[in-house]
Amino acid sequence: MNEPHDVVKRNLSAATLAVIENISDAVLLIDENSNIAYHNDQAEKITGLAEASLSGNSIYNAIESFEGSIFEKRYLSVLNTGKPEAFEAPFGPVFLWVWASIFQIDENYLCIAFHESAVKRRLEAVANSQREALSAALAGAPQSKVLNILTNAVEGQAGHIAMAAISLIDEESDLIRCATSSGLPKSMVNELNSVALSEADHPLTECYLTRELIKVSDLEGKTRWPAFSQAGIQAGMNAFWCTPLLSTQSKSVIGIFSVFYTEPRTPVESDRHVVDALSRSAAMIIERDRENKARLRAETALSANTETLNKQRRLYETALSNTPDLIYIFDLQGRFTYANDALLKMWGRTWEDAVGKTCFELDYEPWHAQMHMDEIQRVIETKKPIRGDVPFEGTHGRRIYDYIFVPVISDDGRVEAIAGSTRDVTERKEAEELAKKAEARRRLALEASHSFGIWDWDIQKNIFTADERLAELFNISREDAHYGVEIEKPLASIHPDDKPRITAAINASIENGTPYDEEYRIVQRNGSVRWASFRGRVIYDESGKAARFPGVGVDVTRERNAIDALHEADKRKDEFLATLAHELRNPLAPIRNSLAILQSDKFDTKQKDASFDLVERQVTQMIQLVDDLMDVSRITRGKIRLNRTPLNIKHVLDAATETVQPLIDECSHTLTISCGEDLWVSGDLIRLSQIFSNIINNAAKYTSQGGSININVSRDADNVFVAIRDNGAGIPQDKLTNVFDMFSQVEGMLERSKGGLGIGLTLVRRLTELHEGRVSVASEGAGQGTTFTVTLPLIDKPANIQVSETSAFSQTMQKSAINVLIADDNQDAAVTMGWLLEAKGCNVEVVESGEAALEAVASFIPDLVLLDIGMPGMNGYDLCIALQQNPALKHAIFVAQTGWGQPSHIQRSKASGFHHHLVKPINLDDLTPILLQVENHKLM
């Protein structure tokens, strides 16, 4: 039950209620509290509000925008004066234009009656604005002024604040431009102007792309165009909608009609009807303006084209009549229909005498005339040009002519004529022939100069040309280098680290005229780098401006690599010498300390015995260093000899591990050898043991205390593999490739506390190669341990194994005493060697100079003479020659003992009469065979 209605029915007469219910006007009865006490059905239909929204609610709450409207003012006037009001105004949330009456029914109710009048008003507004706009357009008014009439109509018919704008699509620049906006603030106009059609964050572009109405009911709410919304809010706008303007012909979008409100709201229906009606007029006006502009452009272009064609015709006629080239036109039968003055002059004929005739009729040689007739036919058939050169004798004598026949194609695609041009190229042909010869000479010179090339840079035109050598160097094709490229292209190939310096040098040469002489790196397509040296000088024109920059270049990669290799070798040499000095000095301190202990009475026998052992170890280490150096030298010179016999790989490994076992014990390492079956190789036992002892020695030195070293022996059908793995320091990946290089050390020079010259692995590789084997290394990196694998050819087990017997001289005394003369300015070495030989039963005489040796043989006849080469005064070579002049020494054996072991020294020793050449420090084992030789000689 509706209580307000019931109250009204009780207070009003039945007749009054009947009238209210049946009239066509909408009726609202308002009580003294401004509440809607009663409404009829028409009120719901016209306002679009439901009964629940109207009945019993305050009119201020029920009717949106009632407060502050014309309706409120007239309502309050009637309420205060009691006088009725009749007026026209927009009403309700959709701003319908209505005719309204407000009057007092009785002391309880005030009546508001109204009916819609917006349709008529809108039609009149639209019609008036359309007539005004069309009239202005016909009168030639500017387009913006005409469109402004339409936007004013939208703003004028609204019963609320509305502002309109029209934007046009500029397809040439792909922009949306604002054409008119009479009431909008300038900041908002800027937002509608010059909007790119590709701009995603703008409602106008979406309207253009979707061809649909775009609306934003509240710019302060969340929108898809936050920047646009913020600009609208700052301009005092709170709602916006726009709709596309469609062409009346193609239905394409030619513009956009936009409407702004100062209050949040959806598009007002009356505004939409007005904009829809005005949009058709706007489209007509825009299209008419475009057609007028297009027609004007066409007329202007036609006029310009006509003048251009007339000018071109005059130019062509003048050019064809005055060009030295021969210009002509054939018909499809090969008759000349046009010949310019140059051709007529070459023929020696008049126009009337030549036009309309074929080559045959113009006295061309038959072969020549037939060739052209055949070519004309091919051009007609193929619709493609033909070009050639031919000799012809005319009024200028016999000349060489270059010609081209080109088809003239009609609109329907047929050949309607053949146009031709001919040029006298006699001088060019002669020049080309000379150029070919010059090019041949140039190429010959370039080939003789190996990698030299020439280049030229036209500075003013920025064209860089070069021959094929430099083209290849700068990653440019021969064709590009021949015809020229921009200087930036070769500069792009210069190494980034060198480019700033070279750019500065080029600029300096251009600005100062100084010679250009630079060497730099050029990056190749495959990423490699080449070095090149360039020289050139800038040439200036008459005004003093830099014109050309020619020069020569040469690829110096090989030379640079050689220099770098020398620098690297020099660096390694210096590093090696420093290391050698370090390694040779290291044993001196313990040796000196041991000597002090041996000379003192303050140490017991155990300490002195230990000192003897220490001196022996240190001397052995020094000898091993020198021996390694000598072995490398012998291998390099091909002087090393291998005493190859069948060997069991187990015995080789036993010999190698026996050598390094003291170091392994000292470091508390665990050494394991896995070798199942007996495997045999052909090799020198000493050298093979040297290979493995070197590797095991390195493993022991570069593995932390208590590490493990594992030796695993395996085989395949042809080879024996010995893998030696440790869990020590490992080798960085970038160092694996050069560990076998001479003097190579993984650690820095100051970090080599473990010792070594960096030649051990070089010796390993070369000795392995002498045994037809190979050696490789693998490591996961620093701290991951290292594995060296030696591969040797596998041989069958020998049937009979012979064991060589060593000389017993070192263990027994000679059967007869040998007289030995030692001459050496290093008395410590000479005297100690004498003591060793005396311990073997020899009679020894020691002197310190060549003169003393000559005096000694007067009373002491030696069987063996040991001479130092580098003595002061008389050297060992001269002393040997002098001693051999003594008949008493004709059976003596002469041995050179020296620190010099190069081939030239050995050759000179032989030339001086020495029987043997031993390199210091002399090992008694090396001297033993010589002593046996002397002993056997004495017994004969």
pLDDT per residue over 88-99, tens digit each? Answer: 777 766 667 777
C-alpha to C-alpha distance for 866 and 160, rounded to whole angstroms = 130
CATH superfamily placement of domain 140-295: GAF domain (3.30.450.40)
Please report the pLDDT score of residue 243 as a whole number. 93
Query: In this structure, are residues 703 and 727 in contact, taking their beta carbons and an 8 Å threshold?
Result: yes
Q: What is 4-120's CATH topology? A: Beta-Lactamase (3.30.450)
Please report the pLDDT score of residue 714 as a whole number. 92
Query: In this structure, are residues 818 and 866 in contact, taking their beta carbons and an 8 Å threshold?
Result: no
Q: CA-CA distances (angstroms) from residue 825 to 625, 830, 831, 850?
A: 24, 8, 10, 9
| Structure-token match 């239909």, residue found | 45
Selecting from 3.30.420.40, 2.30.30.140, 3.40.640.10, 3.30.450.20, what CATH number does the domain 487-636 have? 3.30.450.20
Please report the pLDDT score of residue 863 as a whole number. 93
pLDDT along the chain (940 residues), means of 10: 63 70 83 88 81 83 81 89 82 71 86 74 71 80 86 73 88 88 86 87 91 90 89 91 86 90 81 82 84 83 79 71 85 92 91 91 92 94 92 90 93 92 88 78 60 87 90 90 92 94 94 93 92 92 91 88 80 63 61 76 79 72 64 58 84 82 85 88 84 86 89 92 91 78 52 51 83 90 88 86 43 64 86 83 91 92 91 90 92 87 82 89 76 76
C-alpha to C-alpha distance for 798 and 734, rounded to whole angstroms = 43
What tokens does 27 get?
């009726």
C-alpha to C-alpha distance for 880 and 911, rounded to whole angstroms = 10
C-alpha to C-alpha distance for 241 and 264, rounded to whole angstroms = 11
Please report the pLDDT score of residue 117 as a whole number. 67
Query: In this structure, are residues 555 and 532 in contact, taking their beta carbons and an 8 Å threshold?
Result: yes
Please report the pLDDT score of residue 520 as a whole number. 94
Sign of CA dihedral 877, 879, 882, 885: negative
CATH classification code of 640-795: 3.30.565.10
Contacts from 439-444 at CB under 8 Å and sequence distance 24+?
442/467
C-alpha to C-alpha distance for 308 and 301, rounded to whole angstroms = 10
Please report the pLDDT score of residue 633 as a whole number. 60
Q: How many Å separate Cα 717 from the centre of its chain?
A: 48
Please report the pLDDT score of residue 807 as a whole number. 40
What tokens does 656 get?
């190698």
Does the global pTM surpass 0.75?
Answer: no
According to CATH, where is 3.30.450.40 located in the chain?
140-295
Query: Which top CATH class is 323-428?
Result: alpha beta
According to CATH, where is 3.30.450.20 located in the chain?
4-120, 323-428, 487-636
What tokens does 722 get?
């010995």
CATH superfamily placement of domain 818-939: Response regulator (3.40.50.2300)
According to CATH, where is 3.30.565.10 located in the chain?
640-795
